[in-house]
Chains A and B, each alone.
Chain A
Amino acid sequence: MIVWKILYSPYDAGALVITIIAVTWHALRGRARARR
């Protein structure tokens, strides 16, 4: 619980969601480029 309290904040959660979307997008775009 204390670890959760230290690590969690809505700011970090929002930033993490944006990060996951952006990194996935980059990876998919890279893979599509490699196929071409």
Chain B
Amino acid sequence: MSTTGRNASEFQGPLLLAARYFFGAHALISGANHYLKLLPDPMPRDPEIAARFMQVLLDTHLYDFVKVVEILTGLALLTGYVMPLALLLEMPVTVVICYLSLFIAPTPRSFYTGPREVLLNLFLLSAYWGYLRPLICQWQPPLRPLWSLWRRSPRPDALEVRQ
């Protein structure tokens, strides 16, 4: 990792810290509450299409999977491990939450919470942009399959982001 990256993580500002912990804690509480049932579930039940959508998620157990993703994201953000990966995994969940909140089951509160989730996720992803850039900097990257990596060790500069 470059020196700039190390310094940036050491001196991260309070806004970034607050966003990271708030988003992580919210995801962890939301995910854990699905299994612990300590707080009322904010699942949308109105209009009917939203209730049907949520029921299908529950019946197919996809909702359980979503909550596991939330728990893992929350743990990653609170502990500081694999944060870029966790934020990427969480992105589809937050986009669906935002879409539901704005277009399917809008309420005064959901107009605030839906976009907040996406904005926090995007803000945190932008803080780790250096790690994501290699994923999209080449339109047609050459293959580097997992099953052939054992033959040769990767170049030390393979993960360096080009300046």
The residues of A with any CB-CB pair to B shorter than 8 Å are 2, 5-7, 9-12, 14-16, 18-19, 22-23, 26-27
0/1 interface trace, chain B 107-131, chain A, CB 8 Å (1 if under): 0110011000000000000000000
0/1 interface trace, chain B 10-45, chain A, CB 8 Å (1 if under): 000010011001110110011001000001101000
Known: A7-B112, A26-B17. 8 other contacts (CB 8 A): A2-B108, A9-B42, A9-B113, A11-B33, A15-B21, A15-B25, A18-B25, A18-B78
Which residue of the partner chain B has the closest CB to A14?
B29
Given contacts A15-B25, A19-B18, contact A10 B40 (CB under 8 A): yes
Contact for B22 among A2, A10, A16, CB less than 8 A: A16
Q: What 7 A-B pairs come out closest when comparing CB atoms?
A: A18-B25, A15-B25, A15-B26, A19-B21, A22-B21, A19-B22, A6-B109
- Bound-state CA distance A23–B112 (Å) is 24
Q: B28 → chain A, closest Cβ, in Å?
A: 8
The residues of B with any CB-CB pair to A shorter than 8 Å are 14, 17-18, 21-23, 25-26, 29-30, 33, 39-40, 42, 78, 108-109, 112-113
What residues on B are CB-neighbors of A27 within 8 Å? 14
- Bound-state CA distance A26–B40 (Å) is 31
Contact B22 A9 (CB under 8 A): no
Q: B7 → chain A, closest Cβ, in Å?
A: 13
Contact B21 A11 (CB under 8 A): no
What residues on A are CB-neighbors of B18 within 8 Å? 19, 23
Contact A18 B21 (CB under 8 A): yes
What residues on A are CB-neighbors of B25 within 8 Å? 14-15, 18-19
Q: B113 → chain A, closest Cβ, in Å?
A: 8
What residues on A are CB-neighbors of B112 within 8 Å? 6-7
Contact B42 A11 (CB under 8 A): yes
What residues on A are CB-neighbors of B113 within 8 Å? 9
Given contacts A5-B109, A6-B112, A23-B14, contact A15 B39 (CB under 8 A): no
